[in-house]
Amino acid sequence: MSGQLGGYVSARWYAVTETLDELNGATSGSVCLPQHVDWGPRRPFDLADDADVAVMYERVLRESQSVEDLRAYLNANTLCRLWSALVLPRQARALWEDRFRELRSAAVV
């Protein structure tokens, strides 16, 4: 059983942008994610509440299958600010930190 899980984890694909500048998602108000990103009951995420934003960012980073989703729902400054608090699969975190050194630095803080 663990061999199957390891195979899935190592084969799992995560979307990553070329630059953080592409991430221009909203920073105020509320956001409802599309069903292909957030499978649960549709609910708005309050962008004034860091805990809500963290949950939303975790879902977007884990479930987005396109860079367009990342661009639409993530904001670079918010991502950098919350990075160390986000609960992400190890492979997803490594992909983002390998591409963006500033995230690696934020994770150490």
Inter-residue contact 70 to 15 (CB < 8 Å): yes
CA gap 5, 49 in Å, rounded: 34
Cα 107 to its chain centre, rounded Å, is 14
Residue 98 pLDDT exceeds 70: yes
54 CB burial (10 A radius; 0-12, 13-18, 19+): middle
**Tens digit of pLDDT for each residue in 16-47?**
999 999 999 999 999 999 999 998 888 899 99
User: Please, where are the H alpha helices in the chain?
Assistant: 2-11, 50-63, 67-73, 76-82, 90-99, 101-108
User: What is the model's pLDDT at position 4?
Assistant: 42
More reliable by pLDDT, 24 or 8: 24
